[in-house]
Amino acid sequence: MRCAIFILLTAGAVSAAAGRDLAQLEQRLRRFDYNGVIALAGDFLARTDSLSAQQVNEIYRLKAMAHYSLLEMNEALGCFMHILKRDPDYRLDPLKTSPKIIRFFEQIRSQCRPQPPPAPVTVLRTDTVRILTDEVKPFKGAVARSLLLPGWGHCALGNRTLGRWLGAISAATLTATLYSIIDCQNQENRYLRQTELDRIRESYNSYNRAYKRRNALIAGYALIWLYAQTDLLLLRRPPIPGRVGFRLCPHPGVELSFSLSR
Is residue 185 located within the same domain as residue 257? no
Is residue 250 located within the same domain as residue 157? no
Q: Which amino acid is at 197?
A: L
Q: Whole-prediction pTM value?
A: 0.40
CATH of the domain at 54: 1.25.40
Most distant CA atoms of the chain, gap in Å: 152
Is residue 252 located within the same domain as residue 197? no
Q: In this prediction, what percent of the chain has a pLDDT beyond 70?
A: 72
Element (H, E) at 45: helix 34-45
Is residue 29 located within the same domain as residue 87? yes
Q: 26-50, pLDDT tens digit by residue?
A: 888 888 888 988 888 888 777 766 6
Is residue 127 located within the same domain as residue 161? no
Is residue 88 located within the same domain as residue 124? no
Strands 125-130 and 256-261: unpaired
With beta carbons less than 8 A apart as the criterion, state whether 218 and 212 touch.
Answer: no
| CA 175 to chain centroid | 47
Element (H, E) at 160: helix 160-193
- Total number of domains constituting the chain: 3
From 58, 100, 110, 101, select the one nearest 76 (Cα to Cα): 101
Q: 2-18, pLDDT tens digit by residue?
A: 444 433 334 444 455 65
* Sign of the CA dihedral running 167, 172, 177, 178: positive
In sequence order, what are the beta bridge partners of 245? Answer: 259
From residue 237, alpha-carbon distances to 143, 153, 154 in Å are 10, 11, 11
Is residue 11 located within the same domain as residue 54? yes
Domain extent at residue 22 = 2-111
Q: Please give the sequence-ordered ranges of beta strands (E in DSSP) within 23-150, or none if there are none.
A: 125-130
pLDDT reading at 129 higher than 60: no
SS3 of residue 151 by DSSP: coil
With beta carbons less than 8 A apart as the criterion, state whether 167 and 152 touch.
Answer: yes
Is residue 83 located within the same domain as residue 171? no
Is residue 94 located within the same domain as residue 123? no
pLDDT reading at 210 higher than 80: yes
Q: 78-117, pLDDT tens digit by residue?
A: 888 888 888 888 888 888 788 888 888 888 888 876 666 6
Is residue 230 located within the same domain as residue 142? yes
pLDDT reading at 208 higher than 70: yes
Is residue 148 located within the same domain as residue 208? yes
Average pLDDT in the 65-88 region? 87
Is residue 249 located within the same domain as residue 202? no
Q: 146-167, pLDDT tens digit by residue?
A: 888 888 888 887 888 888 888 8
pLDDT reading at 184 higher than 60: yes
Task: Quickly count helices (H) and strands (E) in the chain.
Answer: 9, 3
Q: 229-256, pLDDT tens digit by residue?
A: 888 787 777 655 544 444 444 444 444 4
pLDDT reading at 69 higher than 90: no
The pLDDT value recorded for residue 177 is 92
